[in-house]
């Protein structure tokens, strides 16, 4: 079980660090969330609203990570 979580975490980190993959996954997550936000269906409940909110926030995080790209952890101060 722990090995599967590590593999999933590694896959997620590699996906976020690749710009095109991160933007594609972000769009994939945001599309259904925006669709549910835009339309009003009879079968929608608090659960679908919550899942759409989580999917939309995850998608936006992926898109922002894809746009921002990889940044260094530390920048040496100039003297």
What global pTM score does this model have? Answer: 0.78
Across 6-11, average pLDDT = 89
Cβ atoms of 62 and 20 within 8 Å: the answer is no
Q: Residue 73, CB half-sphere, CA atoms under 13 Å: how many? A: 0
What residue spans define the domains of the chain? 14-45
pLDDT of residue 1: 72
Structure-derived torsion over alpha carbons of residues 43, 46, 50, 55, reported in degrees to the nearest 10: 0
Tell me the per-residue pLDDT of 16-74, one tens digit each, with 9 for 90 and over. Answer: 889 999 999 999 999 999 998 888 888 888 898 899 999 999 999 999 999 988 777 78
Residue 36 structure tokens: 């549910």
């Amino acid at each position: 079980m722990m090995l599967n979580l590590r593999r999933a975490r590694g896959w997620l980190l590699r996906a976020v660090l690749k710009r095109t993959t991160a933007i594609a996954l972000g769009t994939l997550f945001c599309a259904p969330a925006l669709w549910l936000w835009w339309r009003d269906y009879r079968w929608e409940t608090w659960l679908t609203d919550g899942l759409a909110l989580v999917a939309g926030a995850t998608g936006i995080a992926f898109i922002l990570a894809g746009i921002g790209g990889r940044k260094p952890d530390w920048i040496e101060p100039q003297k």
